[in-house]
């Protein structure tokens, strides 16, 4: 499965910390383990859409909450398969 573009939100001018944080997460992400877990790939794609829609709307709070939901969801799945 091709990975979605992880830097889209972080590439926005004025977001160097977001880009750096995203790069670190992607470098440490255990794709082989978590993507084998149920519907994680589909769930992650939907969560990415939610993050990007919130970001595109300029709603900082919604973007933060969508990102937090995505990270927590992935963490929950990862803990369940290890």
Write out pLDDT tens, residues 6-62: 445 545 556 778 788 878 877 877 777 777 788 888 999 999 999 999 999 999 999
Please give the residue that has the higher pLDDT: either 3 or 80. 80
Looking at the chain, the number of H-run helices and the number of E-run strands are 4, 0
Taking only Cα atoms into account, the Rg of the chain, rounded to an integer number of angstroms, comes to 13
Closest CA to 15 of 64, 74, 49, 65: 64
Question: What's the confidence (pLDDT) of residue 80?
Answer: 86
Is residue 10 within 8 A of residue 51, CB to CB? The reply is no
Task: Find where tokens 């970001």 sit.
Answer: 55
Question: What's the confidence (pLDDT) of residue 14?
Answer: 62
Question: What's the confidence (pLDDT) of residue 13?
Answer: 53
């Amino acid at each position: 499965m091709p990975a979605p573009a992880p830097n889209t939100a972080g590439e926005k001018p004025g977001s160097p910390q977001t880009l750096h944080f995203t790069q670190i997460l992607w470098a440490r992400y255990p794709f082989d383990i978590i993507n084998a877990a149920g519907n994680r790939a589909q769930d992650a794609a939907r969560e990415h859409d939610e993050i990007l829609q919130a970001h595109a709307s300029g709603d900082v709070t919604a973007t933060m909450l969508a990102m937090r939901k995505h990270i927590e969801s992935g963490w929950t799945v990862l803990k369940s398969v290890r």
